[in-house]
Amino acid sequence: MFIEADPIIRPVHIVPEWYFLFAYAILRAIPNKILGVVALLLSIVSFYFFVIVERYHSVFKVLNKFLVFLFIFISIILNIVMEGLRGYHNFFVMDGFKFGVVLFIFREFIFFFSIF
């Protein structure tokens, strides 16, 4: 009559909202809970670096604009396409991990090139 609860699998009807999909993808891509929360906090703090970037006048203005575009593009990919609404498959988790790493790398490039 009832389906037995499985603590590993989330119910199908529980889906995160679209504005939390990037956070959900990062949390699911990192198996360690503490490192997942740290990565989630770093991803949220990374949006505040754009305020710092605007204060500096950079020699690499064109490169910086391109990196900001790539950062936003990868955020959108991580948010929509990856594993936010999909089931738990290893392929999507690894892609979410790869795009999360690339997201953090681009954030560092944007901050580095904005100073010079």
Q: Which of 26-40, 50-64, 78-92 has the lowest mean pLDDT?
A: 78-92
Tens-digit pLDDT profile for residues 67-116: 777 777 777 776 665 555 555 555 555 666 677 777 777 667 766 666 65
- Nearest-angstrom CA–CA distance, 5 and 24: 22
86: DSSP letter:
S
User: Running DSSP on this structure, what letter comes out for residue 46?
Assistant: G
Residue 11's pLDDT is what?
72
Give residue 40's pLDDT.
82
Instruction: Using CA atoms of 69, 73, 74, 75 in order, give the dihedral in degrees to the nearest 10.
Output: 100
Whole-structure pTM value: 0.52
Q: How much is the pLDDT for 72?
A: 75
Average pLDDT of every residue of the chain: 70
**Distances from the Cα of 20 to the Cαs of 43, 63, 108, in angstroms?**
12, 29, 22
Identify the pLDDT of residue 30: 79
pLDDT for residue 35 is more than 80: yes
